[in-house]
Amino acid sequence: MRACSAYESMIMSMRSCRHWFALLSAVLTSIAAHAATRPNVVFIMTDDHAAHALSAYGSRVNETPNLDRIAREGMRFTHAFAVNSICTPSRATLLTGKYSHLNGVPVFNRFDGSQPTVAKYLQAAGYHTGMVGKWHLGSDPTGFDHWIILPGQGDYMDPAFLTPSGRKVIPGYVSDIITDLSIEFLKQRPTNRPFFLMSHHKAPHRPWEPHPKHRAQFAGRTIPEPATLRDDYATRTDALHENRQRVFDDLTRRDLKLEPPADLQGPARAQWLNAIPRVVETTVDGRSQTLTGEALNAWKYQRYMQDYLACVQSVDDNVGRLLDWLSTHGLAENTVVIYTSDQGFFLGDHGLYDKRFMYEPSLRMPLLVRWPGQIRPGSVEGSLVINPDFAPTFMDLAGLAVPDDMQGRSLVPLFRGSAPSDWRTSLYYRYYHDPGHHNTRAHYGVRTRTHKLIHYWKKDQWELFDLVTDPDELRNLYSDPAQQETVSRLKSELQRLKREFKDDDQFAHEQPGGPGVDGPFPDKAAPR
């Protein structure tokens, strides 16, 4: 091959430069044209808000008019699920679009913020990015132009916040403050760029401490009991029998907001608050009563739900406030508003509070999306959606290609009412935090539109539920001879999903430790 002369090289270089300038110019023009239309994204996520505590989902226990407004003006997803139903893993999945075994957060361990995240991709593409509220990932946020987060779980009243420049306490109630800070982010944003805001609430997470006005709203209200509150766990495996997240047997005096004797101080006071009451002196209908047994159980459910629902109400009020702000500032039209929770929650279902299990109340997330002009108002979407889908969705909304290593799929075609013909017909779930804070057995499983198969792998015990004939998941059919073909088919599907999602069991035998020792976290990070 003939070597180029210096002159020829110079000419080629100039041609190459011209070529690249032309190409770059075309790309920039294209980006600029697209940037003008790229939608803003406001992603509102609560902590532990079960779908069955939203009236848009047919709640029997409360009314959420502001959240319902998103459903009315947008789309309600009926089958949205978390793939590892606890707080920190859900947040890592949200940012990465990956299952826990690939993002390195199977339990309450620290998130490695040096890995690619959707916030970084959007920031690099010109979005002004903000993270406000509960973060709970043990490391500082990365990929955000602005962040202000609760340390660990954070407090309900007068909470402290962490920022790049240090820690500050903001007086007031946490849901109000997170909304104020979210609006402040919007006010301060550069108006020549689209924005991506993650507004993450603490409420209604334990210890369920309502704002006084909402506490008053729910005080004395009688909440209907769920049909499975007194589930006897017949036919189910050891996992349900061994778990320690039962309304009747595991809620503490602190959870139930019982007042310790005035003379009790220091460790003795803490011990009193952390104990589980078997007798409660209280006032019912103006008369002092001693509650025990079944009467106490019923009272515990009411106390739990009154506080939980009062915390939900603070979120509902504040979502309304944020929606109003977007409307009055001309931002409603070109902003995608998404409302969800980091997972579901048991509202006395199966006698439980908390989450973790692959049963429906815990697995299912509320998911409401408003996008004027793109989503038909009042639409309902039933496709199987998982939380690894969020990151690819944000990429798609920003006009970016979804990276190959993200494991979810963009929901944008679903928003537009046209689910792809090859959309998933089953989903994979895996929970690791065993024994964790509630003595919950590790498990993985598959859910289809009609069935659920769960494997508690450390015990090698299985559960099979027919979701059509037994939506409350009360009859484990795993040993039923008539179900063996279904068992076999679902086991094959489970293995296929494990391969598809590259789950090589790397965290299968790790011991996350007992209560409060879940890794290198500040003490407030571990759930109480």
Q: Tell me the β-bridge partners of 287.
A: 284
Instruction: Report d(CA 415, CA 395) in Å as an integer.
Output: 14
Inter-residue contact 340 to 83 (CB < 8 Å):
no
H or E segment at 14? helix 6-37
Residues 46-75 that bind Ca ion (CB under 5 A): 47-48
Amino acid, single-letter form, for residue 197: L
315 is an interface residue for Ca ion by CB under 5 A: no
342 is an interface residue for Ca ion by CB under 5 A: yes
Pick the stretch among 53-61, 124-132, 338-346, 394-402 that binds Ca ion (CB under 5 A).
338-346
State which residue, 48 or 255, has the beta carbon closest to Ca ion: 48
Least distance (Å) from Ca ion to the CB of residue 29? Answer: 44
How many residues in the shown chain lie near Ca ion by CB under 5 A? 4
Least distance (Å) from Ca ion to the CB of residue 433? Answer: 12
Pick the stretch among 29-37, 86-94, 98-106, 493-501 that binds Ca ion (CB under 5 A).
86-94
Pick the stretch among 27-35, 82-90, 377-385, 427-435 that binds Ca ion (CB under 5 A).
82-90
- Contact pattern from residue 93 through residue 112 relative to Ca ion, giving x for each residue in contact according to CB under 5 A and a dash for the rest: --------------------
Report the residue number whose CB is nearest to Ca ion. Answer: 87
Least distance (Å) from Ca ion to the CB of residue 355? Answer: 7
Instruction: Report d(CA 305, CA 298) in Å as an integer.
Output: 11
Instruction: Report d(CA 502, CA 428) in Å as an integer.
Output: 11
Q: What is the DSSP string of 450-474?
A: SEEEEEETTTTEEEEEETTT-TT--
87 is an interface residue for Ca ion by CB under 5 A: yes
473 is an interface residue for Ca ion by CB under 5 A: no
Least distance (Å) from Ca ion to the CB of residue 204? Answer: 10
Inter-residue contact 246 to 351 (CB < 8 Å):
yes
Amino acid, single-letter form, for residue 211: H
Check residue 255 and give left, alpha or beta (phi > 0: left; psi -120 to 50: alpha).
Answer: alpha
Least distance (Å) from Ca ion to the CB of residue 82? Answer: 9
State which residue, 231 or 342, has the beta carbon closest to Ca ion: 342
389 is an interface residue for Ca ion by CB under 5 A: no
Least distance (Å) from Ca ion to the CB of residue 101? Answer: 20
- Burial (CB count within 10 angstroms: exposed 0-12, middle 13-18, buried 19+), residue 253: middle
Inter-residue contact 102 to 89 (CB < 8 Å):
no
User: Where along the sequence are the contacts to Ca ion (CB under 5 A)?
Assistant: 47-48, 87, 342
